[in-house]
């Protein structure tokens, strides 16, 4: 389950654990061994943990839980059982290093004098996970390689609206439920397509041809810190940097080449503050900021929202207020207020 996310389940959790199951005369049973390093807990001498066990039967799509879950009550974690009497357990150091090394070889038989039919590349980097405290965790990826991540399906978009693709990169999926609370975090904008994707087309004519063209942004690093204090304040910070990238165009007659900027040095940042209140209520502030070097536009979006529930968790009053600021190449600031759902009553 996701810390601080009382509304649903987090299927992106990925840890090392062991399990076993046996069939006997009364049915079947199972055991699981989850190391302390895979979960967060405090240093208190006596502790009480929330616990629930869910079984899904795929044949009938029925779901059973050890502690009953009422679908008419808001929240999943708020209806879990309790495990009492946990004493003398010490949280271990949570530190993981995952280095990687990869090589690629591509064959494009152009069969053109002066142009190679084969290209190759060598990549290396590292992922780091560190438990800053029992409440907060740092995740970082340095020079990541997402070459093995599932690619997108091709979609023919005949509408004037952008197609939103599913995020398949593990770093931007795991532990990001706090960043997604306002609904404005779309990680696919980070390190995917160059912002000036079609800029070389401005130079294409009978004189120039496209000699080299990177189709993806170059993500240098990304870091996120998330957690929740003992007083219910959830804090999430994510920062990512993509490097400058150029396309190369060549003069057909003289062979002269020149670089065309297709992606400036860019910094992406998101900050989330989420205060949990009684009865599974909350107040949240989210800010996203994109800064680009040079004359390309920058963007800043802020959203404040609230969700208030009654004592029985059957009625919800919610609302939000947003503000978007774009600073363009012409040094003009464009402000777009977004009232969103100012008031919403739901049962």
Looking at the structure, do residues 200 and 331 belong to the same domain, yes or no? yes
pTM: 0.76
Looking at the structure, do residues 332 and 197 belong to the same domain, yes or no? yes
* Total domain count, the chain: 2
Task: Give me the pLDDT at residue 6, please.
Answer: 42
Q: Indicate the residue among 87, 121, 144 that finishes a domain.
A: 87
Task: Give me the pLDDT at residue 105, please.
Answer: 83
Does the residue 92 lie in any domain? no
End-to-end CA distance of the chain: 24
Task: Give me the pLDDT at residue 346, please.
Answer: 59
- Residue 324, pLDDT > 60, answer yes
Does the residue 126 lie in any domain? no
Looking at the structure, do residues 314 and 183 belong to the same domain, yes or no? yes
Band of the pLDDT at 334, cuts 50, 70, 90? low
- Residue 3, pLDDT > 70, answer no
Domain limits for position 61: 18-39+44-87
Looking at the structure, do residues 59 and 195 belong to the same domain, yes or no? no
Looking at the structure, do residues 231 and 328 belong to the same domain, yes or no? yes
Does the residue 296 lie in any domain? yes
Summarize pLDDT for 52-73 with one digit per residue, the tens: 988 888 889 888 899 998 887 7
Does the residue 217 lie in any domain? yes
Does the residue 210 lie in any domain? yes
Looking at the structure, do residues 69 and 208 belong to the same domain, yes or no? no
Q: Indicate the residue among 87, 119, 145 that finishes a domain.
A: 87
Does the residue 29 lie in any domain? yes
Mean pLDDT, the chain, integer: 83
Looking at the structure, do residues 194 and 79 belong to the same domain, yes or no? no
Looking at the structure, do residues 178 and 81 belong to the same domain, yes or no? no
Looking at the structure, do residues 177 and 284 belong to the same domain, yes or no? yes
Looking at the structure, do residues 195 and 309 belong to the same domain, yes or no? yes
Looking at the structure, do residues 183 and 289 belong to the same domain, yes or no? yes
Does the residue 311 lie in any domain? yes
Does the residue 147 lie in any domain? no
Q: Indicate the residue among 30, 65, 87 that finishes a domain.
A: 87
């Amino acid at each position: 389950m996701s810390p601080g996310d009382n509304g649903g389940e987090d299927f992106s959790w990925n840890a090392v654990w062991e399990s076993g199951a046996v069939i006997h005369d009364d049915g079947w049973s199972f055991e699981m061994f989850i190391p302390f390093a895979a979960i967060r807990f405090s240093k208190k001498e006596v502790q009480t943990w929330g616990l629930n066990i869910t079984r899904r039967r795929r044949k009938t799509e029925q779901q059973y839980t050890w502690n009953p879950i009422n679908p008419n009550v808001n929240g999943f974690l708020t209806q879990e059982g309790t495990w009492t009497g946990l004493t003398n357990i010490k949280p271990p150091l949570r530190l993981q290093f995952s280095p990687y090394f990869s090589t690629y070889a591509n064959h494009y038989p152009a069969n053109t004098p002066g142009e190679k039919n084969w290209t190759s590349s060598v990549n290396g980097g590292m992922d780091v996970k560190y438990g800053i405290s029992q409440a907060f965790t740092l995740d970082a990826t340095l020079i990541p390689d997402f070459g093995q991540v599932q690619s997108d399906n091709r979609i023919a978009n005949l509408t004037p609206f952008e197609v939103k693709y599913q995020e398949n990169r593990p770093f931007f999926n795991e532990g990001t439920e706090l960043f997604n609370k306002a609904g404005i975090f779309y990680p696919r904008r980070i390190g995917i397509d160059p912002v000036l994707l079609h800029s070389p087309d401005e130079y294409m004519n009978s004189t120039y041809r496209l000699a080299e063209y990177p189709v993806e942004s170059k993500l240098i690093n990304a870091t996120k810190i998330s957690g929740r204090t003992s007083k219910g304040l959830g804090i999430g910070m994510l920062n990512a940097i993509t490097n400058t990238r150029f396309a190369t165009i060549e003069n057909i007659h003289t062979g002269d080449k020149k670089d065309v900027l297709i992606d400036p040095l860019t910094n992406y940042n998101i900050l989330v503050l989420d205060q949990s209140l009684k009865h599974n209520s909350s107040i949240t502030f989210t800010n996203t900021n994109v800064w680009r070097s040079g004359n390309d536009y920058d963007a800043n979006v802020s959203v404040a929202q609230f969700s208030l529930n009654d004592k029985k968790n059957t009625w919800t009053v919610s609302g939000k207020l947003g503000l978007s600021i774009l600073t363009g190449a012409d040094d003009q600031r464009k402000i777009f207020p977004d009232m969103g759902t100012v008031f919403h009553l739901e049962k």
